[in-house]
Amino acid sequence: MFNPWLKTTEKGFTLVEIMVVVLIIGILVGIAVPVYRNISASSYEEVDAANINSIERAIQAYMADVVASGTYAELRMSNTGVIEGVTVKTGAPANLVPEYLKEMPKQPGDSTKSYVKAANGQVVKE
C-alpha cells in the first residue's frame, strides 16, 4: 500500500526545476550578449582612434623631416604607408614604414584593411 508520509528513495530534478534553471540562464545570456557587443564595438573605436592618431603623428614628423616642398593637404598616403603628392629631399624615404611607423596599423576586427589619407586631409579607414 502507498503511504504519502514515507520518503521515497528516488533522486533527481523535476521538469519544473530544470525549466526554471534554463529560464534563468537564458535571461543572463540575454543580458550579457548585448553588453559584450557594445564593449567590443567601443574598443574597436578606441583602437581606430589610436591608430589614426599614430599615423597622423608619423605624417607630421615625416613632413617636418623630409618634405622639401608641398603641404600637408597635398600629401597622399596609401594603405601601405607610401607617401605621394609632395616633393621630398634627396635620398629621403617615400614611405612612413619602417622609419616613422614600425608597421602600418591594421583595422581591428579586419586585419586585411588599413588606413589611408583622404582627399579632405584626414586619415580614415580604407
Q: Do 65 and 75 contact (CB within 8 A), yes or no?
A: no
pLDDT per position as a tens digit, 41-98: 788 888 888 888 888 888 778 777 776 666 666 777 766 777 766 676 666 667 777 7
pLDDT at 110: 75
Residue appearing with cell numbers 591594421 = 106
CA 70 – CA 85 distance, rounded (Å): 8
pLDDT at 92: 66
The whole-model pTM stands at 0.62
Domains of the chain, by residue range, sit at 18-125
Q: Is the peptide bond before 93 cis (omega within 30 degrees of 0)?
A: no
* Cβ-defined contacts of 73-76 (< 8 Å, 24+): 73/121, 75/117, 76/117
